[in-house]
Structure 1
Amino acid sequence: GLGERCGNANMISLIPNLVLKMGFETGLKDGALQRLTHLSRLLDDRLNVGTNRSAAYVGTRAFAHKGGLHVSAVEKDPRTYEHVDPEIVGNQRIIVVSDQAGRSNIMARFRQIGLEVDAKDPGVARLLEIVKERESEGYAYDGADASFELLARHELHTVPDYFALQSFRVLAERRVNARGQLIALSEATVKLEIAGRRAMEVGEGNGPVNALDAALRKALIPVYPELADMRLVDFKVRILDSAGGTAATTRVMIESADAKGRRWSTIGVSPNIVDASYNALYDAITYKLFRDGAAPATGPGTVRSTTAPA
């Protein structure tokens, strides 16, 4: 729960326990429980706190399944590993794909995202090997479903390339401003190719990732207005090999959301934290466009920026 010290009783878990487990009459209208997960995440947004992935009923891990045998059993009868139907509380079943995953996990995940693939398709085994190889490099798809879906769709050629990065440059500055205040600012320049057209934009932010995100938005929103309601709601960085010190490989996890209430997580890995962040941002943007049914931009020419240097 929320509040001082230990907080108040957590009604998000208490109410479904009373209704679903104990049969109490709580005055809830029919179908009200189906809005429970949405309500929980809406409250997190309003309070500006991170979502508890392990929360009972409403957490993203509440109905997650990972082991191959585990997933196979759930596919046959969800009651073997789920105490309630996740849809009753507005949540959803998640089939986790990782280096421990088997073919059953891959196929179950395909069905969830609407991909019709023959289990004997060589692409399935190839994708499983790619996942294992990339996880050995530091990727973790069990927490980045959107990145896995894009990886699978790229491998099966079912997602378009909306744009391509030619280059980006990020500058960080720390100085005393005219008011005598110590400030830190960042500036990012991105050069993109969108359907054969070149776009260059400059963005500023309070950090390098914020500046990079701003520059990407300035370049892409005029072409893809669907991105206007997309926002970053969580940003996590993990050092994968602490022995490397400041040169260690980093893993960046980004959680994004839009006005439709959808949330998705993406991942990037690189020895350079800004590069890892770009990889996660690229997946987040691509996933948003794909899920909105955006068509890839077409047409020759050059997109010129009002902020681009001469």
Structure 2
Amino acid sequence: MTDLKRVDIYDTTLRDGAQSEDVQFSVEDKLRICRKLDALGVDYIEGGWPGANPKDDAFFARARKELNLSHSRLSAFGSTRRAAARVEEDVVVRGLLSAEVGVITIFGKSWDLHVTQALGISLAQNLELIHDTIRYLKKRVDRVFYDAEHFFDGFAANPDYARQTLEAARDAGADALILCDTNGGSLPSQVGAAVAGLRDLNAVLGIHTHNDSELAVANALAAVEAGCAHVQGTLNGLGERCGNANLISVLPNLILKMGRETSVGEERLPKLSALSRFVNELANRPTQKNQPFVGSSAFAHKGGIHVSAVLKDSRTYEHIRPEQVGNKQRVLVSDQSGRSNLLYKFSELGIELDPKDPRIQTLLEEVKSLELHGYQFDGAEGSLELRARRALGQVPTYFERRGFRVIDERRIREDEDDDRFMGAEGTVKILIGGVMEHIVAEGAGPVDALHNALTLVLSRHYPSLGEIELADYKVRILMGSGSMSGGADAIVRVLIEWNDGERRWGTVGVSDHIIAASYDAMVEALEYKLFLDKVRPV
């Protein structure tokens, strides 16, 4: 029998979550999220559907070369074979194997309506598709999970047939049978009753729920209570339509409320708040203040009676300690928290500080002021660490900025007889080693031109800067600046990811001008690289 106290955690942010409207993860984004999920300790990370699109193919190709996961296992996702194809010749099955991962998840039809109407085949043929595909894959990879699509709708319409689809997957060797509430319309009582009625299958049961009735988390927890030992979900509940079960909420409920054992563990739950914000930054979505557990309002108190009570004993108005999920208590009239959260972040960066060090308060005030003006340090680890190290006097002055200029132009390319080519010219002035350097470089756009100019001049003195590459670039329009400066210009936050072949880091810049924000983030990236390399200033 399955150990029902232990629950496997399966994340599908990179596949199901990426199907959210207005969310476009780049390959770089997916790799960064993978590393964060591995650090959190999830058991399985669903990377995408190999063969379905070039991005997922590129992701799996790069993952093989670049990811060195310490705990998580990467999974490829796809469907059962087509009815008209032999399993060994099926293009989807071949695509799954081309990912070269040890775990594969396939979905099949468990609702007779979909079998006869969507696929247009007999019920018996569908059972063959499920059985043949799983048996074939199980001989070639370590683990195969079966996602029973539309299971609860199918179970309500034809329970005998829905059960037969699970038996076909089990008999073919599936390592877990995942019951999917694909349309998101089930109630927790229905989910619990269905799972309990399937315990006699003598197989590992899992749950995959959608949030169309705003019950995805509740349904996932009900399934675990009834006997599921495998939970699928996404970070921040990303997913098609209304989203999937939110692992940011599922995990603390499982661990803190239900006493279930997971690979994440209570000691890693404090990573959740930062992870939630990190994924929102990469998805270019605003973080919801009222998101349970990790939102900035989740442990915020405003009413006088609430404030009076919670300052005496936080249990009066808080269901858990906010630190357990990496959040913080806030009193909206007079904010009395922040130091512990900052110290925790510094510990993640390897910065050891005495909690009584007066420099902490100075740094805390600086960070709060920057956040007030639009800065966000989630996803910008390089910028935050630089500020912390500077406050401790650990970062030397490598160079001094003296100005920059950018010219955009539309011109005729040398190899084409038209004027549709857009280019840019960047000029920077840098004081380095007591000498004023003034240099011009071209680029595909203004950011690229400035980056080329900076690295061109600085790499003469610091050769390792030639290794740095801009990996990703995101812009967020935050708000009008009228409330702070009396004008109507937009405040722009630029988040840039960098790599030097061995490491990746993010930096952030904020300004009322997108180029200025980008330039600030660029300069910090170069300074951070020099600091990491322990380079001495010229």
TM range, smaller chain = 0.5 to 0.7
Residue in 1 aligned with 2:472?
Answer: 234
User: C-alpha distance in 2, partners of 1:230/1:149?
Assistant: 18
CA 1:96–1:128: 2 relative to 1, 3 Å: farther
Q: Aligned AA for 2:396?
A: P
CA 1:12–1:117: 2 relative to 1, 3 Å: same
Give the Å deviation of 1:17: 8.3
Q: Give the % identical residues.
A: 41
Q: 1:141 aligns to what SS in structure 2? A: coil
Give the Å deviation of 1:147: 0.5
Aligned equivalent of 1:279, options 498, 520, 524: 520
1:12 aligns with 2:91: no
Output the aligned Cα RMSD. Answer: 3.8
CA 1:122–1:99: 2 relative to 1, 3 Å: farther
Residue in 2 aligned with 1:106?
Answer: 342
Residue in 1 aligned with 2:533?
Answer: 292
Q: 2:367 aligns to what SS in structure 1? A: helix
State how 1:108-257 maps to structure 2 within 5 Å.
108-177=344-413, 179-241=417-479, 247-257=489-499
User: C-alpha distance in 1, partners of 2:102/2:339?
Assistant: 34
Residue in 1 aligned with 2:116?
Answer: none
Tell whether the 8 Å contact from 1:97 to 1:142 is kept in structure 2 after alignment.
Answer: no
Q: Aligned AA for 2:403?
A: S
CA 1:103–1:17: 2 relative to 1, 3 Å: farther
Tell whether the 8 Å contact from 2:346 to 2:352 is kept in structure 1 after alignment.
Answer: yes
Q: Aligned AA for 1:280?
A: A
Tell whether the 8 Å contact from 2:481 to 2:488 is kept in structure 1 after alignment.
Answer: no
Tell whether the 8 Å contact from 2:410 to 2:420 is kept in structure 1 after alignment.
Answer: yes
User: C-alpha distance in 2, partners of 1:171/1:295?
Assistant: 33
Q: 1:191 aligns to what SS in structure 2? A: strand
Tell whether the 8 Å contact from 2:424 to 2:445 is kept in structure 1 after alignment.
Answer: yes
CA 1:243–1:153: 2 relative to 1, 3 Å: closer
Give the Å deviation of 1:230: 1.0
Which ranges of 4 or more aligned residues in structure 1 deviate by more than 4 Å? 13-18, 95-101, 242-246
Aligned equivalent of 1:264, options 494, 505, 508: 505
Residue in 1 aligned with 2:231?
Answer: none
Give the Å deviation of 1:176: 4.2
Q: Aligned AA for 2:268?
A: E
User: C-alpha distance in 1, partners of 2:365/2:473?
Assistant: 28
User: C-alpha distance in 1, partners of 2:142/2:449?
Assistant: 48
Q: Aligned AA for 1:264?
A: W
- How many matched pairs? 237
CA 1:291–1:99: 2 relative to 1, 3 Å: farther
When normalised by structure 2's length, the TM-score is 0.39
Q: 1:240 aligns to what SS in structure 2? A: strand
Q: Aligned AA for 1:257?
A: N
Higher relative contact order (CA 8 A, sep 6+): 1
Tell whether the 8 Å contact from 2:465 to 2:530 is kept in structure 1 after alignment.
Answer: yes
Residue in 1 aligned with 2:283?
Answer: none
User: C-alpha distance in 1, partners of 2:338/2:500?
Assistant: 32
Q: Does 168-177 or 198-207 show the bigger shift?
A: 168-177
User: C-alpha distance in 2, partners of 1:177/1:116?
Assistant: 53
Q: 1:82 aligns to what SS in structure 2? A: helix
- Spell out, residue by residue over 1:215-241, the C-alpha distance to the aligned partner (whole angstroms, 9 max, x if none): 001100111011111111100011111
Residue in 2 aligned with 1:31?
Answer: none
Give the Å deviation of 1:279: 0.6
User: C-alpha distance in 2, partners of 1:249/1:139?
Assistant: 10
Q: 1:131 aligns to what SS in structure 2? A: helix
Q: 1:116 aligns to what SS in structure 2? A: coil
- Spell out, residue by residue over 1:142-177, the C-alpha distance to the aligned partner (whole angstroms, 9 max, x if none): 221110000111122111111111111111112345
User: C-alpha distance in 2, partners of 1:173/1:157?
Assistant: 42
